[in-house]
């Protein structure tokens, strides 16, 4: 038994020495960790909550969200890997990144590891879009799962000779990470497991393609061929996945066009009544009465129609119509506030109605600018 322990210790020492000779430093891992922390600090400075950032903050800082990503903001496929949902999320990912990714970077080399990490993150983002376009995907998890995939690719290789101690060195972080991911997969329906699986599979494939022996001249001789193969496989994966993204963008366009057409009549009537009141040709009490009897029922009907669509359609369409429901409720609130202001001759109420109407106009203009490029994110609650 003592001889076996001595032999295992020698193997572990030899393995560490070989890794350090092949890859003396791990700058890619440290850069990625620093980039994740820097983005989070930037979010805090901009006013995001340190524990539970809201959806607007996540989207502003580059989270992956189907309606935005597939329209004109493809950069979100990359930036989402550096945005985190609070300090706990960030701390766990950075801990695992420093623990596991440093080992993977030394196993594959700096350049190969950078390729594995970035491509795994991108494949995870694309997989998320293919699976569920309505999920806001964020965090380094997909790329970290890709690093695990590359690590798994080393295990069957005799030439790698990954000693038990190497796996023990990442045991705690791996158990914590797996437990965290499993727990949230069960209790939180919004957990983006497709991104994790996409990253894991991409890392496994690239790990197989980019693998080289740890020692010997063959390691250097294979470098260029493995890199060319890795770049080719990466390009193939990145180019093929977008073809599987569903045609939900066109569904969004149809829904938005339907809503814009649906509200035109109500907006025209509202505009006529407001102009008549402003010109003094109709008493405020009469305008308030007509708004209540003629205009408000139109917005009630629009809100009801949108809510029926949300109820009748599938889960993805419920979220899709959330924006339209928000718009309709905003318009209705503006009319209700104007009625109250006219009845009480309260200019503050009327100005509040104008402000609500301006918010709705601004959002509608944003929709119309994007209608040929793709849909918009979900509306805020309320």
Q: Cα 168 from chain centroid?
A: 32
Q: Is residue 376 part of a domain?
A: no
For all residues of the chain together, what is the average pLDDT? 82
In tens, the pLDDT along 351-365 reads 999 999 988 888 777
pLDDT at 319 over 70: no
Contacts of 306 (CB under 8 A, 6+ apart): 259, 321, 324, 325, 328
129 CB-side CA count, 13 A:
31
pTM: predicted TM-score of the whole model, two decimal places: 0.67
The residue among 177, 211, 244 that closes a domain is: 244
pLDDT at 371 over 50: no
Asked whether residue 225 falls in the same domain as residue 169, the answer is: yes
Q: Residue 313: pLDDT band by 50, 70, 90 thresholds? A: low
Asked whether residue 239 falls in the same domain as residue 260, the answer is: no
Asked whether residue 222 falls in the same domain as residue 283, the answer is: no
Asked whether residue 254 falls in the same domain as residue 231, the answer is: no
Asked whether residue 192 falls in the same domain as residue 328, the answer is: no
Nearest-CA neighbor of 209 among 227, 236, 197, 235?
A: 227
Q: CA distances (Å), 289 to each of 149, 271, 283, 328, in order?
A: 67, 15, 10, 21
Burial class (CB within 10 angstroms; exposed 0-12, middle 13-18, buried 19+) of 48: buried
Query: Are 138 and 196 a contacting pair, CB within 8 Å?
Result: no
Q: Is residue 116 part of a domain?
A: yes
Q: Residue 222: pLDDT band by 50, 70, 90 thresholds? A: confident
Please give the residue that has the higher pLDDT: either 92 or 308.
92
Contacts of 56 (CB under 8 A, 6+ apart): 380
Q: Is residue 379 part of a domain?
A: no
Contacts of 254 (CB under 8 A, 6+ apart): none
> Which range, 88-92, 113-117, 124-128, 281-285, is most confident?
113-117
What was the pLDDT predicted at 382? 27
pLDDT at 5 over 70: no
Residues of the chain above pLDDT 70, percent: 80
What was the pLDDT predicted at 36? 97
Asked whether residue 223 falls in the same domain as residue 285, the answer is: no
Query: Which secondary-structure segment (H or E) carries 282?
Result: none
How far apart CA 90 and CA 83 sit, in angstroms, is 8
Tell me what the mean pLDDT of segment 220-242 comes to: 85
pLDDT at 169 over 70: yes
Asked whether residue 218 falls in the same domain as residue 263, the answer is: no
Asked whether residue 174 falls in the same domain as residue 264, the answer is: no
The residue among 195, 228, 244 that closes a domain is: 244
Please give the residue that has the higher pLDDT: either 4 or 184.
184
List the Cα angle 70/71/76 in 5-degree steps. Answer: 55
Asked whether residue 228 falls in the same domain as residue 361, the answer is: no
In tens, the pLDDT along 29-82 reads 999 999 999 999 999 999 999 998 988 788 889 998 876 787 667 899 999 999
Q: Residue 87: pLDDT band by 50, 70, 90 thresholds? A: very high
pLDDT at 376 over 50: no
Please give the residue that has the higher pLDDT: either 172 or 293.
293
Asked whether residue 338 falls in the same domain as residue 326, the answer is: yes
Contacts of 97 (CB under 8 A, 6+ apart): 29, 32, 33, 36, 140, 144, 147
**Cα Rg, the chain, nearest whole Å:** 28
105 CB-side CA count, 13 A:
24
pLDDT at 249 over 90: no
Catalytic residues, which ones? 141, 196
Measured in degrees and rounded to the nearest 5, phi and psi for residue 245 equal: -70, 130
Q: Residue 255: pLDDT band by 50, 70, 90 thresholds? A: confident
What was the pLDDT predicted at 141? 92
What is the longest distance spanned by two Cα atoms in the chain?
103
Asked whether residue 150 falls in the same domain as residue 12, the answer is: yes
Q: CA distances (Å), 365 to each of 70, 242, 249, 296, 357, in order?
A: 20, 29, 18, 22, 12
pLDDT at 180 over 60: yes
Nearest-CA neighbor of 140 among 152, 122, 153, 113?
A: 122
Please give the residue that has the higher pLDDT: either 155 or 124.
124
pLDDT at 112 over 90: yes
Q: Cα 9 from chain centroid?
A: 44
pLDDT at 1 over 60: no
Tell me what the mean pLDDT of segment 270-278 comes to: 88
What was the pLDDT predicted at 377? 39
How far apart CA 212 and CA 223 sit, in angstroms, is 8
> Which range, 30-44, 184-198, 202-216, is most confident?
30-44
Domains: count for the chain: 2
Asked whether residue 109 falls in the same domain as residue 211, the answer is: yes
Range of the domain at 129: 2-244
Q: Cα 285 from chain centroid?
A: 50
What was the pLDDT predicted at 124? 93
């Amino acid at each position: 038994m003592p001889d076996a322990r001595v032999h295992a210790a020698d193997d572990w020492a030899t393995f560490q020495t070989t890794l350090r000779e092949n890859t003396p430093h791990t700058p890619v891992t440290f850069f990625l960790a620093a980039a994740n922390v820097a983005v989070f600090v930037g979010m805090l400075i901009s006013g995001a909550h340190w524990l539970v950032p809201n959806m607007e903050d996540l989207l502003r800082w580059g989270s992956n969200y189907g309606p935005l990503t597939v329209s004109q903001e493809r950069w979100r496929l990359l930036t989402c890997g550096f945005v985190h949902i609070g300090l706990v999320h960030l701390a766990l990912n950075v801990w695992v990144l420093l623990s596991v990714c440093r080992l993977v970077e030394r196993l594959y080399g700096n350049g190969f590891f950078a390729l594995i990490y970035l491509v795994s993150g991108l494949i995870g983002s694309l997989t998320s879009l293919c699976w569920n376009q309505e999920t806001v995907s964020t965090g380094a998890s997909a790329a970290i799962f890709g690093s695990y995939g590359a690590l798994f690719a080393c295990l069957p290789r005799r030439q790698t000779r990954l000693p038990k101690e190497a796996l023990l060195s990442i045991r705690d972080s791996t158990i914590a990470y797996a437990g965290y991911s499993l727990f949230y997969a069960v209790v939180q329906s919004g957990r983006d497991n497709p991104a994790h699986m996409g990253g894991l599979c991409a890392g496994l494939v690239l790990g197989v393609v980019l693998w080289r022996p740890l020692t010997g001249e063959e390691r250097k001789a294979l470098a260029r061929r493995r890199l060319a193969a890795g770049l080719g496989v990466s390009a193939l994966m990145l180019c093929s996945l977008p073809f599987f993204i569903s045609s939900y963008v066109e569904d969004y366009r149809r829904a938005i066009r339907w809503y814009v057409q649906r509200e035109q009549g109500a907006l025209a009537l509202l505009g006529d009544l407001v102009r008549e009141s402003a010109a003094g040709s109709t008493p405020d009490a009469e305008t308030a009465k007509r708004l209540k009897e003629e205009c408000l029922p139109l917005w009630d009907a629009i809100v009801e129609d949108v809510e029926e669509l949300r109820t009748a359609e599938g889960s993805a369409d419920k979220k899709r119509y959330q924006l339209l429901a928000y718009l309709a409720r905003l318009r209705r609130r503006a009319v209700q506030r104007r009625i109250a202001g006219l009845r009480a001759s309260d200019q503050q109420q009327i100005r509040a109605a104008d402000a609500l109407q301006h918010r709705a106009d601004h959002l509608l203009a944003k929709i119309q600018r994007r209608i040929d490029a793709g849909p918009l994110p979900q509306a805020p609650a309320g």
